[in-house]
Amino acid sequence: MIILLIVNSFAWFIYAGKVQSSIDAHVRSWKVTFTSGTNLISDYFVVNASDIFPGMDTINETITAHNESEVPAELTYAIIEARIFDETFITQEGRRDKNQAPQAGDMTSDQLEQYLLQNYPFEIVFTTSNDELSALNGTADYTITINWPFEGGNDTEDTYWGNYASDFAEDNPGVASLTFVVKLYIAQVEE
């Protein structure tokens, strides 16, 4: 019996030493880039508007996201900071982006968008062509449009803000009247 136990144990050790396994896995590629015209940019970008007045030419700044990954992606954005003449807004997302705690009175990016639409005679519109980029060749455009119609419908506001814009430009030569810092976020989408 002892001999049988020794032989079986020896056979088991020889067999256990010859066991092999392998794992093959494919890691899906992840490559998303942002361009402005032909220039490659990071996920942050700044839009400045210097000449702002009723009847101004519309300003359109477009960033294109290109998904060359093997998985679909979702595009979102947040206004990190905005300066309208001499008033600066840092959003809650902007504070978090700077590793700061949001302060009382900080708006979210969405709240700031609404505030800008409701409190100025000029239009500042943030849009995306689509939120989801398909795998391998998906694209989406993110656009900021700034426009101040000549006849905006409220002469009192147009006059007040027109004079304010003129005074700001005179007192701050070389400084843009409006500045926006926006961050684009891209994330994989579950298939």
pLDDT, averaged in runs of 10, over the chain (191 residues): 54 54 70 86 88 89 90 92 95 94 93 94 90 89 91 83 93 94 89 70
Predicted local distance difference test score (pLDDT) of residue 77: 92
Report d(CA 139, CA 41) in Å as an integer: 15
Residue span of the structural domain in which 36 resides: 29-188
Residue 9 in domain = no
Residue 61 in domain = yes
Predicted local distance difference test score (pLDDT) of residue 1: 57
Report d(CA 180, CA 189) in Å as an integer: 28
Counted domains in the chain: 1
Predicted local distance difference test score (pLDDT) of residue 41: 83
Predicted local distance difference test score (pLDDT) of residue 30: 79
Residue 136 in domain = yes
Give me the helices (H) in the chain, please: 2-17, 92-97, 109-119, 155-171
Residue 120 in domain = yes
Predicted local distance difference test score (pLDDT) of residue 99: 94
Report d(CA 45, CA 182) in Å as an integer: 6
